[in-house]
Structure 1
């Protein structure tokens, strides 16, 4: 076996985790999916992905839970159950370890609450996540298409990394739909790795060209679960007051650090919207 074979196994396991996140994910079963001995598979997974398989499952379940807390009124006990935790107590302990505060406090005062339509936000004063105008050059990404919940786009990033490996340009996602305006199963997006314009493209990936131009860039810091509220603030408060018009091009997110090794509160994302000239 060569590195490509091991990477394909990583993709298979990643897909299995996303497809069975609601199930009791047995780590020995993940070794079977990878077609490797359980004595060695978990070491391979950890070395290649930067986290253990158990940590991946926990992170994805907590990320989903944070989305429920930020965007719904679902009781915490129901959030715990839907996120695959045996009890509310176990869920609360794990959530606090990852996000720094208990679930109920996250719902009441997490980063997503900064973007609610308060008088301060409507007046355009939000120093925690400023919007700047940037002139960006043309960029090319090798991307894996994704259809379905945006929270599950990580599996597409795994496929992109399989095709081109890591890149100094970082991870980039393109979002074609508004999650409020389409059924979750029909949401379209693509996850990719920035590459040189003349770089060869693996057959399983598609080339997406991000045009040069002036972009409004929201420098977001915090959990991915709070980003929906950030979008609401951007489109409902910042954009109408800016006097600018968005161009006919989807939203682009540039991820500046790795969620596998970064606490949710320290995640940094540039949300970029191309503007008409």
Structure 2
């Protein structure tokens, strides 16, 4: 009798795309430091030592937004978090995030969120007790919500050995958007799903409780199903028409490690987890997921990036 060979699932791949220029990452960090300063195209081109045309083209190719759209979105996202987590006057919030006047801020806010700053504040958060957690989560994720899993170097870095431990994980409520994509397009899939889920959560006043994450419920020979999402404080219905769905990450024991370094070397850490599972005699209890602890929009050195990998155990 011929026995079927047990095939192990491959580790989640990293998109093989053109490397992101590190000078754009350094510029993003400067932009996000200058919360009240001039971030016009002319100012940024001076900082980058490039022509305005060249910078505009390269910035949009990497980030997926023009410099103006990017800086406006990030500032408005952080301002929205301030409105529902502090009692500061709206004009003070506007000024602290670089808007020239209350009127300019109100117009931009209404365009993005569909309501005035006053109405947004009056509605509040759906779990107000975690306002500080929400503010921290929004502030950290807004600059880079479309940049996770990017390839930043054509040279493979030396992976940092993974320290793997069994941890008891709590139940986590989340909203996700699911995509089936090729292994080469994981970064692009997250670049479209995470910003949409993040924007939905902010527009509806949902309390975010941690960094964005990606879950891998299915791997095929040529494709992968990926769920990009945000953690929220309590269940929420999502938006079926937009493909945004609720998800509960179950509690239980999991093999957990923190991958240190660029996303390019994530497969090495997944392979280390695979080896560890065999050595320790553990079985998988569900799809693995990654939590993006470091903000590439504020930390331009990929060697400092940290990604928590959670492999549920049976």
Q: State how 1:226-237 maps to structure 2 within 5 Å.
A: 226-235=265-274, 237=275
Instruction: Please tell me the root mean square deviation across aligned C-alpha atoms, in Å.
Output: 3.5
Q: Is the 8 A contact 1:164 1:202 kept in 2?
A: no
Counterpart in the other structure of 1:156: 193
Q: 2:276: which partner in 1?
A: 238
CA distance in structure 1 between the aligned counterparts of 2:214 and 2:70, rounded to whole angstroms: 28
Distance 1:45 1:217 in 2: 33
Could you tell me the TM-score, scaled by structure 2's length?
Answer: 0.50
Work out the number of aligned pairs and report it: 183
Q: Is the 8 A contact 1:169 1:194 kept in 2?
A: yes
Aligned residue for 1:142?
175
- For the pair shown, the structure with the greater C-alpha radius of gyration is 2
Of structures 1 and 2, the one with the larger relative CO (CA 8 A, separation 6+) is 2
Whether 1:27 aligns to 2:56 is: yes
Structure 1 residue 212 and structure 2 residue 251: aligned? yes
Q: Where do residues 64-143 of structure 1 align in structure 2 (5 Å cutoff)?
A: 64=151, 66=153, 69=154, 103=155, 107=156, 110-112=157-159, 114=160, 126=161, 129-143=162-176
Distance 2:152 2:67 in 1: 31
Q: Which runs of 5+ in 1 are unaligned?
A: 1-17, 70-102, 115-125
**Which ranges in structure 2 are unaligned for 5 or more consecutive residues?**
1-16, 21-52, 79-142
TM-score in terms of structure 1 length: 0.56
CA distance in structure 2 between the aligned counterparts of 1:218 and 1:229, rounded to whole angstroms: 12
- Cα distance change, pair 251–42 in 1 and its aligned pair in 2 (3 A): closer
The 1-side partners of 2:272 and 2:67 are apart by 49
